Structure 1
Amino acid sequence: MTPIAIIEAIATVLWVYAGVGLVEWIRHVARSERRQHIPHMAELLGNLVPAMIALVVVVMAGALIGLPSVVVIIAVLFPAGVAFGLHQSLNDLRETSWRYEGIKLAVILLIAAFVIWRRQFG
């Protein structure tokens, strides 16, 4: 496996994690009271902002220093920031057990493995 394929695989896992987290977040917000929808959205944005600021700082530093691999860093940093923000928002919305998180992670890894396999051989 080439380094680019490894970075792509890591990014795919993070995107799948973010996608599953978004679906779960939407489910929790839809079940909450209607007056809570805007505060939940504001909290999600508040959790996404620090990650996106870090992304902008990395891009600016890469442009100033002249890093040739800043695109590779962005390919992983952006989905990681989205996944982190959704994860933090979900932690405030729900009570979960380690067992639930383990099952969720297993499902995410299976979906990501299927997507990676389809991209490589399909």
Structure 2
Amino acid sequence: MSPIAVVEAVATLFWTYAGLGAIEWVARLSRLEKTRHVPLVFELIGHLVPAMVTLLVVVLAGAFFGFPTVVVVIAVLFPAGLAVGVHMGLNDLREASWRGETARLLLTLLIGATVIWWRQLA
């Protein structure tokens, strides 16, 4: 595998985890009373801000210093920050259980590996 393919595979796994986490977050949020929706959305945004600020700093540093590899870092940093933010948002909605986390990780690996395999065929 080339280095670009490895970066793409890692980013795919992060995107998959973030997507599955977002689906669970929306499902759990929909079960709560409507008065809790806005505060929990703002908490999720608050969890996403540090990752996006880091992304902005990396982009600006790459542009300022002329690093050509900053695009590769962004390709992994954005979905990783999104995955961490959604994970933290999920922790605000529920009690963490090993069974739920393990199921989401296994589903991430299954879907992510399928997508990676499918891309390698094309």
TM-score range, shorter chain: over 0.9
After TM superposition, the score normalised by the length of structure 2 is 0.97
Q: Deviations over 1:14-69 (max 9, x none)?
A: 00000000000001110010111111110011111111000000000111111110
Q: Displaced runs of 4+ in structure 1, greater than 4 A?
A: none
Alignment of 1:59-98 (within 5 A): 59-98=59-98
Task: Tell me if structure 1 keeps the 8 A contact 2:62–2:70.
Answer: yes
Q: Identify which range, 56-65 or 98-107, moves more after superposition.
A: 98-107
Counterpart position of 1:121: 121
Inter-partner Cα distance in structure 2 for 1:79 and 1:91: 18
Alignment of 1:2-17 (within 5 A): 2-17=2-17
Counterpart position of 1:32: 32
Letter in 2 for 1:45: I
Task: Tell me if structure 1 keeps the 8 A contact 2:13–2:108.
Answer: yes
Query: What root-mean-square deviation, in Å, do the aligned CA atoms of Structure 1 and Structure 2 show?
Result: 0.8
Aligned length: 122
Counterpart position of 1:106: 106
Counterpart position of 1:20: 20
Letter in 2 for 1:38: V
Letter in 2 for 1:96: A
Letter in 2 for 1:24: E
- Matched position secondary structure for 1:96: coil
Letter in 1 for 2:61: A
